[in-house]
Chain A
Amino acid sequence: MTEDYKKVVDGAREAFDNGTTLPLEFRVHQLKRLKAMYSDHSQVFMDALHSDLNKPDMEAALFEVSACINDIDYILNRITSWTTPEKVSSVIPLDKSLIYREPYGVTLVMGAWNYPMQLTMTPVHGAMAAGNTVIIKPSEVSPATASALAKLVPQYLDQTCYPVVCGGVTETTELLKERFDYIFYTGSTTVGKIVREAANKHLTPTTLELGGKSPCYVDTSVNLDKAARRILWGKMINLGQTCIAPDYVLCPREVREPLVSAMKEVLLEWFGPEPKTSPDLGRIVATRHVDRLAKYLDSGRAVVGGGYNREEKWVEPTILVDVKEDSKIMQEEIFGPILPILTVDNHTQAIDLIRAKERPLALYIFSVNKDIQDTFLRRVQCGGVCINDTIFHISNNKLPFGGVGWSGMGGYHGKFTFDTFSHLKSVLSRSYNPILEKITCMRFPPYTEKKKKVMMGSVADKGDGPGVLHYLALTTQHLVSMSAGALLLYLSLHYTDTVV
């Protein structure tokens, strides 16, 4: 097995060293092929997702297949401008200062099982766009999707540059012994540490997308029916197995009762009296996780749900109240359809409670009070924030997505994925112009007091804004196009006049 991985990684490295992935046309072509794969086989992927997690078609379409296609479209529309070297200002005229975005080399992308397509493939798109070769490692916990990827990707993409490898813990350990130039890992904090430690052997930079307990604060100022819908939607998609799902709710005492009854109604409306039969709820990925979740049910009083079935990998959507802060459910990331509701006196106490824990991946605030929103934004450090909704902040490709502290390091999505997989190579290019040499030769020995004084004469920095010349050029350009318009009409009128 070791031999295999070595061969795969060496092959990818050779392809990179030969410059296969450097031409922009190659990258664009491969990304288009990948897009074709998603569209041609969308049903195959939806079936695989159904088999792994009983994922409803709407969730599979929106969060996985369409998300991947949209991501590629987003990249393809912008890749030319991203890969163009960026010009920056120089201190000495005639010097050229440029920033090139270079691929790292051989990258490893390790996906998670909860969104087995999106979390594996969106980083891959960025890595491909940046010109890296990518070893794709889907999670073994979602075997159907992993094998669908392993089967289909080689049919569409260059097999040496973008191989898919599958395997469990032992295989992954072996794989991580190879040398990579960048590792992108999505998963748990514990494994994240192991991955980064393995990466450290070769000083490989890593992006870690981990989880955490994402808190949700609800206060009296909001429409509780709408708030309940938005929270429960975020909690129940993929049956709570979403890294940015609201993990627990904090609310003032007087909000708890109306919120719970609103939630009860919403759950009944969505999933009926027998939620297990609803086609719109997923299943827990493995019995191991059902056992873990079952243990949390003792941590409080279940006002809704509370049932589970080990054989069917089913845990009922559950709302727990009277949960103690030091109970087990409040120490670990829940990653299931159990929503504990804790009461606090006010938002300051909620902030204290959140700050006493590790920094979460997401924070949700349901309040229309600007002051309270601002206090949360200022005082709580977390990956991202969504105010008055859940999950939605990741729908915008222009917002970087990533954790801080125990919820991860490094951000991605859209351009940020491309940047993650690009090294910024600064290039300064000078000439041998004799006049400029008069200034720059001041730095050479023998050092004298006069030279030092000349070098000291730098002026105060005024900031970056465009200079007068910029506006002058802009005005001239507009004047030229205006007179072009005038001239054209004048000539045409003149011409027609003479003809007439």
Chain B
Amino acid sequence: MTVQFRTHETETPRLMKRRHGMGCLRFMSPELYLTYCTLNNQVFGFLGCTVAPPPPPLVPSPGSPIPVSVPSAVEVGGRHSFWDCWKLMTENMSEFEQVVNKAREAFRSGRTLNIEFRKKQLKALQCMYNENEDAICAALAKDLRKPRQESILLELNLLRDDLRYMLARIDDWVKPEKIKTNLVTMFDSPVIYHDPYGVVLVMGAWNYPLQLPLLPVSGAIAAGNVVIIKPSEISPATAQLLADIVPKYLDNDCYKVVCGGVAETTELLKQHFDYIFYTGSPQVGKIVREAANKHLTPTTLELGGKSPLYIDDTVNFDLAVRRIIWGKCINVGQTCIAPDYVLCTRQVQDKFVEKAKEILKEWYGDDPKASPDLCRIISDKHFQRISEYLKDGTVAVGGVVDREERYISPTILVDVSPKSKVMTDEIFGPILPIVNVDSAYDAINFITERDPPLCAYLFTTDSKVRESFVKDVLTGSMCVNDCVVQLGLHDLPFGGIGTSGMGAYHGRASYDTFTHRKSCLIRNYNKVAEQIGKMRFPPYNEKNTKLLSKMLREINFPSLKYISYVLAFGLGVASVLVVQEIIKAAGSDDD
């Protein structure tokens, strides 16, 4: 009987049932090494559980035959049965520790490095969205009473488009980037490889409970990470749905949904992740980043802020107000990029309110509460907070509340003081305060005096105003003459700055967020290259210093962009000459 040896395997216990063999399983945190051997697919014996890797005597060269009676010859720490070891390990591990460890083992197995695997997972995600459309809409309706069109347009379609966009491009993205070389390294090839970070945690928010946790996930999968998805507990129906359906479609070891509230999240954040992507409030964002700092984990934070909107009198009011009211009323204002407040002159304000009244009536009827197209506030706490804001100004439109249903009607507030609560907190509800300014210049000042917002909106057809706005307002993103729709473009990175967040995602930016770019220079032992290369070695002399400095100097070569046009021009000249010659030749023949 011969037994094959292998050491330092990183597999989970259920994979241990190899035919004959012996191995050492390493568990992370607490670090334990379990040495075992198997015979005829059965675990035959456990040699011990140690806190350090087994000493060298245990590691004969691979393939060397040894008798099965090896256990007695092995000296490793204390001897325990398998279940003793197992118990010892699991007792020391919290539930999340086990989840994260399992994910890490899955990452170490290298499965996610395979591009076909990633594509398969992305396609499975596509299937999940297509096959569960009704269930998803139902869950969203339960959490936020979200109308079906909003669920499809702003959650499902955004996710599906994003996947399509990624699947069409992923083959290009993952290719190592070949880089131009410089004079000193002209015989070498510099390449940038794209490495996944490892175990990624994506924490979603409750306002778009499907889109916000899942949109970053596709980027993380495309980049080859394993992902732990944590939907918000404030939207329980969608969170539960995700926990139910995701395991049916995605690889269970690599992609895991965990649920829980504040206590569980705190516990979860104690684990070691390689990247954390958080969407939510600045307060929690700070806590997440602080927890991440323990393991020096890089983080992307997608936070909120008061997104300002400036409108002047040069626009088509009917269209402009429609676009603004739509941006504010989807999800009854519980959108991180919804316009938070309006800045305009007194005259514009009157026109705006007039028009808004008309449009709201057209869309939601006389009793907006009865309209199926308006969502509800997510929780009593938020309802309480938002209804307080109604006191901060004069209600020009709306102002109706219903505690039972957590309903607040689309409301416009005028005569608002910039110091009142509605103008200092992020509103996150269907209340639109209007603050009067005298000019676009005033509006820019008003905005830049405050924290940089996630978005800034501008409604004008005056190109001068547009230019100064775009130049002077520091903001995450900006949309001119519309709201919210800049989110739908995959080519535009989406993310905040300052208190509205750090890092960006959507489309290629999502992939880049979860990718570490590993620079690599591949050199060889070419003799000519060595003549240059060896100048750097000691003993140093003045001549080599000068030469190397010269070679490393930055030279601006003339661009070769137009060379093809010059060649085409030359070709034209040449063709005339040739034609002339032919004509001449023909002419002389005639003669």
> Which residues of A are at the interface with B, using a C-beta cutoff of 8 A?
17, 19, 22, 56-59, 61-62, 66-67, 70, 73-74, 77, 88-91, 97, 99-100, 102, 104-105, 181, 189, 192-193, 196-197, 200-201, 203, 205, 208, 210, 222-223, 226, 229-230, 233, 236, 270-271, 278-281, 326, 345, 352, 355, 368, 373, 377-379, 381-389, 392-393, 395-401, 404-406, 409-411, 423-432, 437, 440-441, 443-447, 451-452, 455-456, 458, 460-464, 477-479, 481-490, 493
Contact = CB atoms under 8 A, between A and B. Distances in A.
A395 B475 contact: no
A278 B539 CA distance: 8
A353 to B, nearest CB: 10
Contact of A197 (B290, B329, B524): B290
A203 B285 contact: yes
B283 to A, nearest CB: 10
A389 B568 contact: no
A444 B374 CA distance: 12
Contacts of A279: 540
Contacts of A345: 61
Nearest to B300: A205
6 contacts: A193-B296, A270-B539, A355-B108, A426-B476, A430-B479, A463-B168
Contacts of A22: 471
Contacts of A479: 568
Contact of A368 (B197, B289, B371, B525): B525
Contact of A205 (B184, B286, B502): B502
A441 B359 CA distance: 13
Contacts of A489: 572-573, 576-577
B352 interface: no
Given A428-B479, A463-B169, A456 B502 contact: no
Interface stretch (B389-397, B430-438, B529-537): B529-537
A233 B274 contact: no
Nearest to B522: A387
A383 B518 contact: yes
B520 A387 contact: yes
Contacts of A446: 363-364, 371, 373
B237 interface: no
B179 A399 contact: yes
B192 interface: yes
B519 A395 contact: no
A171 to B, nearest CB: 22
A486 B519 contact: no
Contact of A384 (B52, B179, B520, B556): B520
Interface string B542-582: 10110011001110100000001110111111011100100
A280 B181 contact: no
A368 B301 contact: no
Contact of A400 (B290, B478, B501, B517): B517
The 6 A-B residue pairs with the shortest CB-CB distance, nearest first, are: A485-B572, A399-B519, A426-B492, A88-B491, A486-B572, A73-B554
B110 A379 contact: yes
Contact of A229 (B172, B326, B534, B552): B534
Contact of B519 (A58, A99, A384): A384
Interface string B486-521: 101101111101110111100001000000111111
B322 interface: yes
Interface in B369-404: 371-374
A488 B489 contact: no
A226 B290 CA distance: 46
A481 B565 contact: yes
A65 to B, nearest CB: 9
A281 B198 CA distance: 40
B446 to A, nearest CB: 14
Contacts of B185: 392, 395-396
Contacts, number: 340
Nearest to A437: B319
Chain B residues touching A, range? 35 or more
Nearest to B179: A398
A438 to B, nearest CB: 11
Given A17-B448, A62-B545, A446-B373, A387 B521 contact: yes
Contact of A88 (B168, B471, B489, B570): B489
B537 A99 contact: no
A28 B299 CA distance: 33
B369 to A, nearest CB: 14
Nearest to A210: B296
A488 B556 CA distance: 32
Contact of B152 (A377, A406, A445, A455): A455
Query: Which of A74, A201, A379, A387 counts the most chain B CB atoms within 10 A?
Result: A387
Interface string B152-181: 110001000100110111001000000111
B198 A280 contact: no
Given A388-B524, A389-B533, 9 more contacts: A62-B552, A193-B294, A203-B285, A278-B539, A368-B524, A398-B190, A425-B476, A478-B568, A485-B569
A397 B395 CA distance: 58
Contact of B326 (A181, A428, A444, A486): A444
Interface in B137-157: 147-150, 152-153, 157
Given A447-B147, A486-B576, A404 B480 contact: no
Nearest to A16: B474
B472 A384 contact: no
A428 B502 contact: no
A482 B169 contact: no
Contacts of A99: 492-493
B519 A400 contact: yes
B518 A426 contact: no
A463 B573 CA distance: 39
Contact of A482 (B466, B554, B569): B569
Contacts of B470: 100, 427
B378 to A, nearest CB: 20
A452 B477 contact: no
Contacts of B573: 485-486, 488-489
Nearest to A102: B474
A432 B477 contact: no
Given A223-B525, A432-B316, A444-B363, A396 B568 contact: no
B587 interface: no
B333 to A, nearest CB: 14
A385 B521 contact: yes
B491 A432 contact: no
A240 B525 CA distance: 24
B182 interface: yes
B264 to A, nearest CB: 22
B135 interface: no
A72 B540 CA distance: 26
B113 interface: yes
A97 B539 CA distance: 56
A429 B480 contact: yes
A373 B493 CA distance: 35
Contact of A428 (B179, B485, B545, B564): B485
A446 B540 CA distance: 79
